[in-house]
A and B are shown apart, each in its own frame.
Chain A
């Protein structure tokens, strides 16, 4: 049994190493380990039954994660009303699921989608939305404040949800949340519960760096530095609600959940 745990830990570590910057991967691995090893199955005398129990739990964990998106989509339907304007940032499959479900239940809304440089993920998202016949408007990242007046709510996904209740997400999320907050627009985050991580950044620089090269299209002189960080941290005071598979939560509940799970 001990051996199995060690093997699992090794596997989880190597997975984490593959993409050291992905918070959701790390958090997911950690949570999986806790979920699986916390069970009383480890006390079974018979190794085979313990093993099958572990596998059962693991599969359940996988199912939960898949179902999470559907649960989140269902929970957020109440917040999308007819005629509303939603601003999204980056390509998040959870947010896409939310909007898909809303479109399928014949709600009328339109979406403002930011370009999401340097990944151009906004273009991908707008393609998907166009397929659903949802009116989409593409903006460059700098046009967020310009269009914020017409917006009713902001919907973002998350790479990771940290202990303070803030989120780590694609670069530009913090900016959007700040603008929305100053204009009194609600900011909703859609994140599965396995993304809850035991991190606590105090400011933007307090995280492990995640760098991505930016292609400006023209060659840049070597003396010029480029800020290549791919993500930023949005503090909890700018977020209104978090839609998770555990329910609709306020940012301060995240720590509650983490304490219950990890300690």
Chain B
């Protein structure tokens, strides 16, 4: 990772435009590159959502999109399957040369796009894309000039507009697809909205973007390979189409019946997957530990097939397990880091080791990881955090975080006099578990829901929050509602302390809660368990005009966070990239 510190600046500054510009449409190409400027380390890039005419472009909040055509303006296409789409082209605004090649290099896979000539404008125009080998395409790279490419893009956009007008078929490769889940370490860069020669130097060690679920072809492919058959939910909110959403309640029975026929899947991994699916295991640390322990078992039972190397085959197997777990529930950032660590360790195994030794090595590595990064880290966090609790304090916490719970219990054991306010929210109501445990230990507690947060905040002296991850710009990515609590605390001048283990830090940057999130079951919003009298929305979940949205995570900007307590000490939010830089190197978490 340290070899990659260069791209903190824009590599093509003259294209960097921020703000409203009434440029001709082909200049709007420059606007999506602004995404790159802000988010080039982001794995899931901001969504350019084509399928909704009203939403226009869901650009990052900093950007004001240039004026678009009335029909949805579309980003340049990126497809990697050879398909033909007969399209109708409106008369072109500018003259063009007959056949234009447009090439875009993306993630090592080259896409060639060809728009047939204008002379055929009487009828349909075939837009043909081909997936090409990178070697062949390299030779063709010089053929396109920038103007041609821009013209090409213009044509595609118009073509797309026509297609929309004509059929309303979902764009096959709408706002961009990410690298497929099993293209292992080729780091595809972020989604490129712009027509630019890709910067190769940027792409290498950027973590893989998550799969964008509004790309139909990718979703189809993933479905074919899936173990879990999921049906996509209807009535999805447009803005969040890039996130997966499936009908709940359908997978579990089917999976359980398949328990005895799962040849490629190890039973421990299967069990963990089912536990994720049903919600039995919840919380970053718990999920990570469960997953690693399942992998430990899988590695123990693993035997190298003949004519294959242990490293490669085991990595592939782990990859398939990970895909299965993703199908059950999208990975949390802590799990992603743990998987990277494991793959790194497998890759670094010396070739001279026998299979038995290699397996014991990996086993002890995983043990060491769990011990050092999670269990001991929590102890250090508790040690630092209790110094910030003094007698007479009123501490507020939101939801249920394992680290915060340990801090409160330890402070109580040390004999500090304080009381706790537990803030909770529907639909998960996780705070109730925390409340039960705290009251069981004899801590003075108050319980309230998040709608009363501004009422209760004036009596609070400190706010302790947990995090699913802390990103490189200091943004805290945590359970939905955390941002709310942090902002109210900030406006009341109450210091906000976030407790997060260092293995959960991630080098990506996220500016809002939209581009990367997780969608939960929308039905739990419309129903309140045990209260039949207020279930007014029952039965209207199929209505076309009602869309339910149940977000799981949100992003808290760093301005609202006073301090982050990690196993490396108490640091301000601006120091997170320093820790990522210094210690990822040492601990091989890259």
A259-B462 in contact (CB<8A): no
B575-A202 in contact (CB<8A): no
Closest A residue, CB atoms, query B568: A263
Q: For the complex, is A173 an interface residue (Cβ under 8 Å from B)?
A: no
Q: For the complex, is B313 an interface residue (Cβ under 8 Å from A)?
A: no
State the CA gap A198–B562 with chains docked (Å). Answer: 16
Which residues 177-204 in A have Cβ within 8 Å of B in the complex?
Answer: 198, 200, 202-203
Indicate which residue in A203, A206, A252, A262 contacts B575 across the interface (CB closer than 8 Å): A252
State the CA gap A259–B571 with chains docked (Å). Answer: 9
Q: For the complex, is B572 an interface residue (Cβ under 8 Å from A)?
A: yes
Q: How would residues 270 to 305 of chain B score, 1 for a CB under 8 Å from any chain A CB and 0 otherwise?
A: 000000000000000000000000000000000000
Q: For the complex, is B171 an interface residue (Cβ under 8 Å from A)?
A: no
Q: For the complex, is B569 an interface residue (Cβ under 8 Å from A)?
A: yes
Q: State how many angstroms separate the Cβ of A208 from the closest Cβ of chain B.
A: 12
A206-B388 in contact (CB<8A): yes
Q: For the complex, is A114 an interface residue (Cβ under 8 Å from B)?
A: no
State the CA gap A66–B458 with chains docked (Å). Answer: 48
Q: For the complex, is A256 an interface residue (Cβ under 8 Å from B)?
A: yes
Q: For the complex, is A163 an interface residue (Cβ under 8 Å from B)?
A: yes
State the CA gap A262–B578 with chains docked (Å). Answer: 13
State the CA gap A37–B570 with chains docked (Å). Answer: 24
Q: How would residues 139 to 160 of chain B score, 1 for a CB under 8 Å from any chain A CB and 0 otherwise?
A: 0000000000000000000000
A259-B578 in contact (CB<8A): yes
Q: For the complex, is B574 an interface residue (Cβ under 8 Å from A)?
A: yes
Q: For the complex, is A260 an interface residue (Cβ under 8 Å from B)?
A: yes
Closest A residue, CB atoms, query B579: A259
B572-A259 in contact (CB<8A): no
State the CA gap A163–B462 with chains docked (Å). Answer: 19
A255-B575 in contact (CB<8A): yes
Which residues 558-574 in B have Cβ within 8 Å of A in the complex?
Answer: 562-563, 568-572, 574
Q: Which of A163, A206, A255, A262 has the most CB of B within 10 A?
A: A255
Q: State how many angstroms separate the Cβ of B474 from the closest Cβ of chain A.
A: 10
Indicate which residue in A200, A256, A260, A263 contacts B570 across the interface (CB closer than 8 Å): A200
Q: Which residues of A contact B495 (CB under 8 A)?
A: 202-203
Q: For the complex, is B538 an interface residue (Cβ under 8 Å from A)?
A: no
State the CA gap A81–B394 with chains docked (Å). Answer: 49
A259-B568 in contact (CB<8A): yes
Known contacts A206-B388, A259-B575, A259-B578, A198 near B569 by CB under 8 Å: yes
A255-B462 in contact (CB<8A): no
Q: Which residues of A contact B579 (CB under 8 A)?
A: 259
Q: State how many angstroms separate the Cβ of A252 from the closest Cβ of chain B.
A: 4
State the CA gap A255–B582 with chains docked (Å). Answer: 13
Q: Which residues of A contact B571 (CB under 8 A)?
A: 163, 255, 259
B462-A202 in contact (CB<8A): yes
B582-A252 in contact (CB<8A): no
Q: For the complex, is A165 an interface residue (Cβ under 8 Å from B)?
A: yes
Determine chain A's interface SS by DSSP, over half rule: loop
Which residues 83-136 in A have Cβ within 8 Å of B in the complex?
Answer: none
Q: State how many angstroms separate the Cβ of A13 from the closest Cβ of chain B.
A: 19
Known contacts A163-B572, A164-B572, A259-B568, A202 near B578 by CB under 8 Å: no
Q: Which residues of B contact A263 (CB under 8 A)?
A: 568-569, 582
Closest A residue, CB atoms, query B572: A164
Indicate which residue in B497, B572, B582 contacts A260 across the interface (CB closer than 8 Å): B582
Q: How would residues 6 to 42 of chain A score, 1 for a CB under 8 Å from any chain B CB and 0 otherwise?
A: 0000000000000000000000000000000000000
Determine chain B's interface SS by DSSP, over half rule: mixed
State the CA gap A179–B302 with chains docked (Å). Answer: 67
Q: State how many angstroms separate the Cβ of A176 from the closest Cβ of chain B.
A: 20
State the CA gap A259–B569 with chains docked (Å). Answer: 9
Closest A residue, CB atoms, query B574: A252
Known contacts A202-B462, A263-B568, A255 near B578 by CB under 8 Å: yes
A256-B578 in contact (CB<8A): yes
State the CA gap A164–B497 with chains docked (Å). Answer: 13
Known contacts A202-B563, A255-B575, A256-B575, A163 near B570 by CB under 8 Å: yes
Q: How would residues 233 to 267 of chain B score, 1 for a CB under 8 Å from any chain A CB and 0 otherwise?
A: 00000000000000000000000000000000000
Indicate which residue in B562, B568, B569 contacts A202 across the interface (CB closer than 8 Å): B562
Which residues 208-263 in A have Cβ within 8 Å of B in the complex?
Answer: 236, 252, 255-256, 259-260, 262-263
B578-A164 in contact (CB<8A): no
State the CA gap A263–B578 with chains docked (Å). Answer: 12
Closest B residue, CB atoms, query A255: B575
Q: State how many angstroms separate the Cβ of A53 from the closest Cβ of chain B.
A: 27
Q: Which residues of B contact A200 (CB under 8 A)?
A: 563, 570, 572
Indicate which residue in A203, A255, A262 contacts B572 across the interface (CB closer than 8 Å): A255
Q: Which of A165, A236, A252 has the most CB of B within 10 A?
A: A252
State the CA gap A198–B388 with chains docked (Å). Answer: 14
State the CA gap A255–B569 with chains docked (Å). Answer: 11
Known contacts A259-B578, A259-B579, A164 near B563 by CB under 8 Å: yes
Q: How would residues 478 to 498 of chain B score, 1 for a CB under 8 Å from any chain A CB and 0 otherwise?
A: 000000000000000001010
Closest A residue, CB atoms, query B563: A200
Closest A residue, CB atoms, query B474: A252
Known contacts A200-B563, A202-B462, A206-B388, A259 near B570 by CB under 8 Å: no
Q: State how many angstroms separate the Cβ of A167 from the closest Cβ of chain B.
A: 14
Q: Which of B388, B572, B578 has the most CB of A within 10 A?
A: B572
Q: Which residues of A contact B462 (CB under 8 A)?
A: 202
Q: Which residues of A contact B575 (CB under 8 A)?
A: 252, 255-256, 259
Indicate which residue in B388, B562, B568, B572 contacts A165 across the interface (CB closer than 8 Å): B572
A202-B574 in contact (CB<8A): no
Q: How would residues 547 to 590 of chain B score, 1 for a CB under 8 Å from any chain A CB and 0 otherwise?
A: 00000000000000011000011111011001100100000000
Closest A residue, CB atoms, query B570: A200
Q: Which residues of B contact A163 (CB under 8 A)?
A: 569-572
Q: Which residues of A contact B563 (CB under 8 A)?
A: 164, 200, 202
A252-B562 in contact (CB<8A): no
Closest B residue, CB atoms, query A262: B569
Q: Which residues of A contact B570 (CB under 8 A)?
A: 163, 200
State the CA gap A203–B494 with chains docked (Å). Answer: 9
Q: Which residues of A contact B582 (CB under 8 A)?
A: 259-260, 263
Which residues 85-104 in B have Cβ within 8 Å of A in the complex?
Answer: none
Q: Which residues of A contact B497 (CB under 8 A)?
A: 202
Q: Which residues of B contact A165 (CB under 8 A)?
A: 572
Closest B residue, CB atoms, query A263: B568
State the CA gap A233–B462 with chains docked (Å). Answer: 18
Q: State how many angstroms separate the Cβ of A202 from the closest Cβ of chain B.
A: 4
Indicate which residue in A198, A203, A255 contacts B574 across the interface (CB closer than 8 Å): A255
Q: Which residues of A contact B578 (CB under 8 A)?
A: 255-256, 259-260
Q: Which of A198, A203, A236 has the most CB of B within 10 A?
A: A203
Which residues 211-226 in B have Cβ within 8 Å of A in the complex?
Answer: none
Please list 22 pairs of residues, one from A and one from B, whose beta carbons are closer than 8 Å in the complex, sorted by A's number.
Answer: A163-B571, A163-B572, A164-B562, A202-B497, A202-B562, A203-B495, A206-B388, A252-B574, A252-B575, A255-B575, A256-B575, A256-B578, A259-B571, A259-B578, A259-B579, A259-B582, A260-B578, A260-B582, A262-B569, A263-B568, A263-B569, A263-B582
Nearest 6 CB-CB pairings of A with B:
A252-B574, A255-B575, A202-B495, A200-B570, A164-B572, A256-B578
| Chain A residues close to B by CB (< 8 Å) | 163-165, 198, 200, 202-203, 206, 236, 252, 255-256, 259-260, 262-263
Q: Told that A202-B495, A259-B569 touch, could you supply 12 new A-B pairs with CB distance under 8 A?
A: A164-B562, A202-B497, A206-B388, A252-B572, A255-B571, A255-B572, A255-B575, A259-B575, A259-B582, A262-B569, A263-B568, A263-B582
